[in-house]
Structure 1
């Protein structure tokens, strides 16, 4: 009786013993029905008579076995099935159980015997279990066996059996939808990247909440799976144990990495790994591998366990990563698993590679206190590592000490350091060649080999940088471009490659090819990493290139300290060429923010210190000096100097030709400029100089306008676009920043809110305007700026009751008083012009808020269709700031003209405010709309269209009481002052707003 009960348990057992999750799923009804896989297995089983499911734990072997048994039970031909859990039986009991089945006569055709968790058998077939299985097959039984890949003897003992490998048991794309539905897996997860399709890991995705991260449970499941695999391989002394450990330590890579590092992996080994252990992500076609779960804390714990058990594996894996150029991964592995001795040995073997990948701090941590260790007791490799890391960190004292010690041991360098590493160190030293005392020893014929890899990149950088900053021609990029395309980017930082990318960015900016946004973003990302790793000299050089690109593109410099810090670093490095370059760059930056005197001084310093052979620096300094001088000097002095320029000279270089042309343009000697350009257009059309010329013209603003009209479109177009971004000019954007900077000798006469006159930024006091009619005459000439006003008109306006002869005499006296008030002299600027019977202000030297107002109002009322809503709003805010009050009306003579002009300007102002309010409401900018409404109501509180827009704005802002007060005040004014009523549209809007708010309140 007990025997029959045990038999029934054996025939109905579900528990795997090693796959608890599948058993739980089967018992709870969550088991996935893998119909295609089961049909495939049963078909192969019918063809061969035996099938073996060979997979590690976690691949759902028991679940598939149970489904195959169920499929067989539902088969009308064969209903007899026997399910045996061999994991619960010892070998003797299993043999006895199989013997009982052999003695029994099958009740149906092709009965099925399914055995889960087959024990290890002898591969040569000398095993009682194999004998019983062969006997069952001879009697017509079909066998379905489940085992692990460590049981290699079972497939060999049953050569006719069909093998179902681990790869076959993974979740296939066609069936994944059912897994995702049953386990509620997010569709945004990268399933095969996270799990490799392993069934037990796919089920863990039901606990995931992030797009790219599986969660703690998935991490634990992955590492548990790896531990079981390693335990079985170690127990069986399998040849796969060593490559499996190495792959887990490396995390990912290629099979070729093993072979290049002297680790031979046979083809059979790789095939077994790909077939039986898919969790290593081996791709046979690309010969790559990628382990699951790498980069997590659980995975790091697994790597520590492997290193503790096999320390040689860890040190070999770190060396393998270094040899394949994966320095970041090597540093992470070394800090995780290597001891102090192993890490020091690694640094000594690859001293320069760590520094070039940006891990100088790691080297210094390994060497503890480098200054104390530098000496005879330090190995040559470690000494070279200290030297390279000190250069990239900017610790030049330590670099000098290390270089001095290296110069004492040339023989040991030849013995201990390989040629490629030494070549990289020599090129690194050349890149910092200006730093005194850091030169490496000359090994004679031992270091005459051709540089390769990083050394070649460093060599190209040194040559290109010198030619770019101090040379006369454009650097050759053909070879450097090929090297950059071939360079590996396996690390977050590659200093030689980053240097060349910065050189290319600076070259493109300085020579007009344009810097691609992605290149600038790459430099910005590199700067962040370099700064975080305290690689100051390298970060400063990259920042320098990025900011030069921004400077020439006309963008605002977000890194204002870059040029100053780069210049300071150049002083520390005794690099005069870079120091002068940074000095000039500081000057261009100062000029861009309006500090012309500061820029002029820096241009003079560059010209004073640069050698004759440093052509670019001298031309750059010349253009800076000339542009800053022309920018801040009065036009009177510029004209005086322009008159003595020798325009007949035939021979001049490109820089001199542009400098003279800019000077003539600033002096507005258009005819002379045309003649000069005609004679020297070949020099001025030198393409390499165009970006600097465009930048100079942009910073000169309107003073370079005459030159722009002469230049071809490809030269002048960029200058115009940069002008709008970089330079304060006579455009609308000056008002919002607190007023314009007056030109030297310029007179400013403002009429909004009263009469106000300034010269050179100083108010002209009332003493200079003793005659009231001088102010009235100045106001009339300002309103007519750009045209002449006849004397008759002025006389009729200022002296309406006088005859013409007396009026002419009075006008003469008033004009003399006006000239004295603005300090007009015979040899100076001519502010008041007389021509025939007309009188006018010289618009070149007289500025007025009225003229500025007209330009802004025209942009809003006429050109708003071509502008965005935000641009219109900003212009209206500038108009509101400019319009300080009604237009000035003198209290003498006939004020009719001024009263009419006051009405015209007030109408324009209100129309602009209304347009701005409409645009603000359109984009739901309630704050700007409120500001413009208040400004409009202050100047025109009775205009109906303003009242309506004010009610709309107040309604949106929830200011109900103000709506009532505004409308009632307007209604009272109309009824008592004008005996009139509001417009129908205004009344309907008020009622609609009030009634809607009342309904809302009632609800």
Structure 2
């Protein structure tokens, strides 16, 4: 074509450039000439800077990572087009047509993320200058420096990107396992344990698993609890590794405490002397951090000079928790400011400090000090299934956020937390959850329940030595009894004169009769109680007459402090309610918060009827089988049923004449119970013409209807973000199986219960798949686990679970899930798992048949044993 005079444009990989020698005239354009200069040359700290870090100006990556509307830092893990483009580039960067020397160099660069020519010499064994020059010209993805030989690739921006590209890295690591081994040693020497944990499952990385035991505390800080547990269980295969018996015992206890909800014993960490190695001190401090949730007394404080960076972070967290438990919020804030987080909550210790700072900020009603992304990242770190023992910290934050911001959308979630905490859980979470539930009950005017919860919270807090929370609970109990009409007691002399004591004195003075209000002397101390402003804000709105009297009695300086805090409080609460991906229109808000629906009925996980925020006593709904009839009508399409259908469902032993009379008596019972709270509300619509009984759904809101809508949209929508949002909302609504009433003669309720359970599983599977496509691996794992909890024989749920676990790099757990399901399936149906599940588990046909044969042999052996 060239000899014929035709202008020709074609492309060649760099390793084929010698073919150009046959052409006497040609113009060459290299890959470095094609980068997006407006991105590659940016050096500022805004979105363009992060876009440069994640793309290096490579056009396919730039196009796949659109800018955020608010100009903030992007999150590539949640951008599916970017992840697809990145995996494609990594696969092509490690193509087998390259020379072995260049493949080793490129693999080392990808695993290291960034470094220098010296690092490459350690990892790859040599640094040919011609290869570096070729990479600088032909592979801008690695961003090789002109003279320094330094490099930086997009996989350095986030360690999670290593897991995304793991399938492409596996093949190259299998060819050059010594490169992976050398990179792991280099990263461990420089303290990059989070990245090391992501590399240990690669071919070649297994030889370095003894690092998990030598530097266990650092890997625990990176969240690799399961990896450390696995290494501890396989201690024998590591020759030359010698650990003291006390070290192994402490490691086992700490790993169990971080990975499980079980509380620690008092002995753990108590025998470690101050002169012990830093590794043992760090493990001991992890134990102390876990003990804080159980309100255990910490050991004697250590000197910061004796600790490394991880130990100092853990010690600051422990001391900050102690100050917050005593109500010394300002002191805790000063401690946290003096020891700031450098990593934005990416490690466990950083996440703990980030959440501590957020809790103190909320209670002090300060402006936000940490970005919302840092807080959410910290919550995401501690919400990992590997850190189940620390999940209570995020629960504490959820309760405080809902109470301080008055976020009604979070009330159902807090109610679930309170219900769980009342039965079990760490004492700090239990006491704090009960206090949060008390405040919610006060706002909803469920005053009797608020009084009971306050007494229980005070008892739990007192028994755990949490005096500050006990005092708050005692005060809230007095508020509940005051709103119930009980006369308050006059002044108390035993109240400490701290900020909480002064705020409590004002609240108690406001509850006294008007002539006794002067008992609160404004002239004694005009300084506002900074550490208790949150209490005045909580009680200053939504408490009826008490809020009005508090507003009248506020000293001028206190009023000024509240005027500064209250607008900030309201703005943040508004921002929390208008979260992205959730409807925020007036109709959605009314549905979410119950506005426009004065009667709320809950059937999932129990039975309750609430009128204008006040719960109808269950005893009033037990008469005349009213509860059974009400639930039957709510579950019917259109909330309508013929009278004979109601009789057959609720009173099957009665003839129709007697049954019709009983149905009338049941409707009268329900009307009377609701009329005691609001006499203008009539929940029934009766039709003499059609002989039907209907509920007026214009004034009734039922959680089953909302759950069905959310679950169906999660399963049917094509928008992944919407599917995840709806699945999460369905998860919050489905607090338990549908309540089964005393009478279900036709089995209609049980049938609906099974249908809702299946619908819940469908929503969780769809949400898990969507979350995985968005890169939300922890959310995908949790939603898949929810689906398996509802039905452990759902194969699509097992597929989603295995995919999520493998995407998270938790291959051992994925194999365990697959094998457990395969055994159960062989026992119940005598067949192996489907090809789709085997493919998701990464199991070939030959291995799948072998596992199936092994399961078949196991079942046959059990059957023969039972027969004999």
| TM-score of the pair, normalised by structure 2 | 0.51
Matched with 1:541 is 393
Mapped to 2, the partners of 1:315 and 1:258 lie a distance apart of 13
Q: Is the 8 A contact 1:570 1:579 kept in 2?
A: yes
Q: Which residue of 1 aligns with 2:320?
A: 464
Query: 1:427 is matched with which residue?
Result: 285
Distance 1:568 1:484, change over 3 A: farther
- Report the alpha carbon displacement of residue 60 of structure 1 after superposing the two structures with TM: 5.5
- TM-superposed CA distance for 1:625, in Å, is 1.9
1:488 pairs with 2:343: yes
Counterpart residue number, 1:57: 14
* Residue in 2 that maps onto 1:352: 217
Q: 1:493 to 1:370 in 2, by over 3 A?
A: farther
Question: Cα gap change, 1:564/1:357 in structure 2, threshold over 3 Å: closer, same or farther?
Answer: farther
| Contact residue 352 and residue 424 of structure 1 kept, 8 A | yes
Partner of 1:628: 480
- Secondary structure (helix, strand or coil) at the match of 2:25 reads helix
2:8 is the counterpart of 1:29? yes
Q: Following TM superposition, by how much is the alpha carbon of 1:467 offset from its aligned partner in structure 2, in angstroms?
A: 0.8
Partner of 1:782: none
In the TM superposition, residue 212 of structure 1 has moved relative to its aligned partner by 5.8
Q: Write out per-residue CA displacement over residues 227-255 of structure 1, whole angstroms, 9 at most, x where no aligned residue.
A: 44442559xxxxxx5x55432433x1223
TM-score normalised by length of structure 1: 0.45
Tell me, yes or no, if the aligned pair for 1:590 and 1:596 is still in contact at 8 Å.
yes
- Paired residues of 1:307 and 1:313 also in contact (CA < 8 A): yes
The residue aligned with 1:307 is 173
The separation in 2 between residues aligned to 1:580 and 1:268, in whole angstroms, is: 64
Distance 1:652 1:450, change over 3 A: closer
User: How far apart, CA to CA, are the structure 1 residues paired with 2:568 and 2:37?
Assistant: 56
Give the 5 Å matches for 1:341-420. 342-368=207-233, 385-394=251-260, 396=262, 419-420=277-278
What is the CA–CA distance in structure 1 between the aligned matches of 2:331 and 2:59, rounded to whole Å? 55
Instruction: Determine if the alignment matches structure 1 residue 221 to structure 2 residue 92.
Output: yes
* Aligned-residue CA RMSD (Å): 6.1
In structure 2, the residue matched to 1:714 is 560
Instruction: Please state if 1:332 is matched with 2:195.
Output: no
CA contact 2:314–2:349 (8 Å) conserved in 1:
yes
Q: Decide whether the 8 Å contact of 1:60 with 1:169 is kept in 2.
A: no
Report the CA distance between 1:629 and its aligned residue: 1.7
* Superposed CA offset, 1:21-55 (max 9, x none): xxxxx9893348xxxxxxxxxxxxxxxxxxxxxx9
Give the Cα separation in 2 of the matches to 1:610 and 1:658: 20
Using the alignment, how far apart are the partners of 2:308 and 2:138 within structure 1? 39
CA–CA distance in structure 1, aligned partners of residues 526 and 434 of structure 2: 26
Q: Deviations over 1:561-601 (max 9, x none)?
A: 33454676654xxxx55654444333323333333233323
Aligned length: 557
**CA–CA separation in structure 2 for the residues paired with 1:259 and 1:516:** 39
For residues 313-358 of structure 1, give each alpha carbon's deviation from its aligned partner in whole angstroms, at most 9, with x where no partner exists.
Answer: 3222223333444434322321122465x25313122211221221
- How far apart are the structure 1 equivalents of 2:6 and 2:267? 70
SS for the counterpart of 2:94 is: helix
Q: Kindly state the Cα deviation for residue 257 of structure 1 after the two structures are TM-superposed.
A: 9.1
Question: Residue 145 of structure 2 corresponds to which residue in structure 1?
Answer: 283
Whole-angstrom CA distance in 1 between matches of 2:127 and 2:612:
82
Matching of residue 705 in structure 1 with residue 548 in structure 2: yes
Give the distance between the partners of 2:382 and 2:567, measured in 1 at CA. 36
1:185-230: CA deviation from partner (whole Å, max 9, x where unpaired): xxxx98996697699x99999xxx9456338865553322xx4444
Separation in 2, partners of 1:448, 1:60:
59
Given the superposition, is the C-alpha separation of residues 387 and 372 from structure 1 closer, same or farther in structure 2, using an over 3 Å criterion?
farther
Which runs of structure 2 are paired with 1:763-778 in the superposition (5 Å)? none
Higher Cα radius of gyration: 1
Q: Specify whether residues 276 and 512 from structure 1 end up closer, same or farther in structure 2 by C-alpha distance, changes over 3 A only.
A: closer
Displacement of 1:544 in angstroms is 0.9
Query: Can you list the C-alpha shifts for 1:242-285, whole angstroms capped at 9, x where unaligned?
Result: x55432433x1223993999999889799657656645322368
In structure 2, what is the Cα distance between the partners aligned to 1:62 and 1:202? 31
2:117 and 2:127 in contact (8 A); partners too: no
Change (3 A) 1:676 1:722: farther
Q: Take 2:123 and 2:475, find their aligned partners in 1: how far apart are those partners?
A: 59
1-side partners of 2:598 and 2:613: how far apart?
17
**Aligned: 1:505 with 2:505:** no
Match of 1:688 among 531, 543, 549: 531
Where relative contact order (Cα < 8 A, 6+ residues apart) is larger, the structure is 2
Taking the aligned partners of 2:468 and 2:121, their CA distance within structure 1 comes to 46
- Alpha-carbon distance between aligned partners in 1 of 2:496 and 2:249, rounded to the nearest angstrom: 57
After superposition, residues 27-426 of structure 1 pair within 5 angstroms as: 29-31=8-10, 57=14, 62=19, 66=23, 69=25, 169-172=30-33, 210=81, 213-214=84-85, 220-224=91-95, 227-231=96-100, 244-250=106-112, 252-255=113-116, 258=119, 272=133, 275=136, 278=139, 280-283=142-145, 288-291=150-153, 300=166, 303-338=169-204, 340=206, 342-368=207-233, 385-394=251-260, 396=262, 419-426=277-284
Distance change in 2, residues 1:623/1:314 (3 Å): same
* Contact 1:171–1:198, Cα closer than 8 Å, also in 2: no
Question: Is contact 2:64-2:82 (8 Å) kept?
Answer: no
Corresponding residue for residue 753 of structure 1 = none
Cα distance in 2 for residues equivalent to 1:401 and 1:346: 28
Deviations 1:731-770 (A, max 9, x none): x9987414997999xxxxxxxxxxxxxxxx9xxxxxxxxx
The match for 1:584 is 435
Where structure 2 has 5 or more consecutive residues not aligned to the other structure, the ranges are: 39-49, 66-79, 575-592, 601-609, 615-619, 621-676, 682-695, 701-868
SS of alignment partner, residue 406 of structure 2? coil
- The secondary structure found in structure 2 opposite 1:698 is coil
Describe the superposition over 1:917-953 as per-residue Cα deviations: whole angstroms up to 9, x where unpaired. xxxxxxxxxxxxxxxxxxxxxxxxxxxxxxxxxxxxx
Q: Following the alignment from structure 1 to structure 2, what is the Cα–Cα distance between the partners of residues 203 and 703?
A: 58
Q: CA deviation at 1:628?
A: 1.6
Q: Hey, what's the Cα distance between the residues in 1 that align with 2:35 and 2:89?
A: 23
For residues 118-175 of structure 1, give each alpha carbon's deviation from its aligned partner in whole angstroms, at most 9, with x where no partner exists. Answer: xxxxxxxxxxxxxxxxxxxxxxxxxxxxxxxxxxxxxxxxxxxxxxxx9x83342599
Indicate if the aligned counterparts of 1:540 and 1:562 stay in contact, CA closer than 8 A.
Answer: no
Following the alignment from structure 2 to structure 1, what is the Cα–Cα distance between the partners of residues 266 and 507? 52
2:325/2:468 contact within 8 Å kept: yes
